[in-house]
Structure 1
């Protein structure tokens, strides 16, 4: 198991059990206790846990990485609100990029039902399928390494492909936002590197997410919040979060 996979597994255990013990993790992953302590220190630096004697406790909510079908089924009403707001920003003949995201899938379905003629670039299998029979949409698929859990393509080939295009609007997904470090996060390094390239290819970059994700974190930081054009939410965030956002 690679270090990044182990960190993700430890994060999932934290989310389920709220605490971890060094000796138990050492046995589970068949590595030294010193190596586990280094993992816990890294997770503490990311604000995910607080180290304690012999282990650590959950510092912040960190959702387990769900398969794409599970994500698509959760909180549809909230995601539909976000997708509707994103759709209202689209203009005819634009080139847009839709990242792997269950909210972006709903946005793609709205595009199919509309009169808009767009060029849509995506690395998501579900989004590509949703738009594949829409004759008024010019559809561009970004290939690469298939990330089964996410349901799309990521990695160096995907990054090379997207760099060829000039994108007006990019709609990005994320596992969470850490306002303390101003970081956008995900669970997978290749996914994070791909998202970073998507941001660089877009003139305007919008994060589409539920407000609850201000309290969630992935384990890999791929960009800073202040690199975004805006964040499209389902509902108004708390006053405390609004104050933090205003400082960015």
Structure 2
């Protein structure tokens, strides 16, 4: 016979919270209260205890899973993940581009989806460290493409390192379109690779406007290296799977949150 929700011991409840967190990446207090039939005080105590044990990180209204690894999937692995969401984000992002714009485009599968929606734009000048994006734009658009040099990051089709950063010295663009591996209000934009982070920071610094393309799965996730604060983003473009609480918190930072319908 199944025990009533209120009879579940704290240890078992916390174990179930961690299972849910590993599956979804983030949890919210009201969601857990309903699931276990306990008060918000009880759930907050559970989350505090799990945080003290180093298993999660408390956030406003809930918690996220701590990711301590610097592992990152290859481009080939990423390309098959959340394809519908990335295409919707890319299409919406392209609507912010005007003919004649100068752009910086960060490496990533979401920014690649964005690049595919630039084929009808005219007289663009585009700076990127992504080999695949540069090749696509050169072949499919009339854009002037500037591919920055540097060390090619194996299995990621992009350039990194001091030379890549130096190539961006003295450049200014109208808009920088950024990608990220993780995004939280507290931790900002994060990525697993330190050399990649340096190039991302530089790309952001040369743009008059910073537009972040980030599918909802990455929101609430912190990874190894911080790139920049969330407050530095001008526009966040994500998909309709994003949690309303997250949207509200980014809006409070004066970020223009745009949601792509999938």
TM-score category, normalised to shorter length: 0.7 to 0.9
Question: Could you tell me which residue of structure 1 aligns to residue 166 of structure 2?
Answer: 160
Answer yes or no: is 1:57 the counterpart of 2:63: no
Residues 144, 156 of structure 1: 8 Å contact kept: yes
**Cα shift at 1:150:** 2.6
Question: Could you tell me which residue of structure 2 aligns to residue 205 of structure 1?
Answer: 210
Which 5+ residue runs of structure 2 have no aligned equivalent? 1-21, 26-49, 58-63, 254-262
Question: Could you tell me which residue of structure 2 aligns to residue 219 of structure 1?
Answer: 224
Question: Deviation per CA, 1:176-225, whole angstroms, max 9, x where unpaired?
Answer: 1122x241100011111111111110000111010121122211111001
**Cα shift at 1:149:** 3.6
Q: TM-score, normalised by structure 1?
A: 0.73
- Flag the 1:158–1:184 CA change in 2: closer, same or farther, 3 A: same
Residues 182, 226 of structure 1: 8 Å contact kept: no
Q: Which moved more, 1:149-158 or 1:222-231?
A: 149-158
- Matches of 2:236 and 2:169, distance apart in 1: 23
Residues 122, 142 of structure 1: 8 Å contact kept: yes
Aligned length: 198
- Matches of 1:79 and 1:135, distance apart in 2: 20
Pairing of 1:1-248 with structure 2 (within 5 A): 50=51, 52=53, 57=55, 59=57, 60-61=64-65, 62=67, 64-112=71-119, 114-134=120-140, 136-179=142-185, 181-235=186-240, 237-248=242-253
- Matches of 2:236 and 2:121, distance apart in 1: 25
RMSD (Å), alpha carbons: 2.3
**Cα shift at 1:244:** 1.7
Q: Which has the larger radius of gyration?
A: 2
For the residue of structure 2 that corresponds to 1:160, the secondary structure is helix
Q: TM-score, normalised by structure 2?
A: 0.69
- Matches of 1:69 and 1:116, distance apart in 2: 30
- Matches of 1:117 and 1:76, distance apart in 2: 28
Q: Which moved more, 1:192-201 or 1:63-72?
A: 63-72
- Matches of 1:199 and 1:187, distance apart in 2: 17
- Matches of 1:160 and 1:170, distance apart in 2: 17
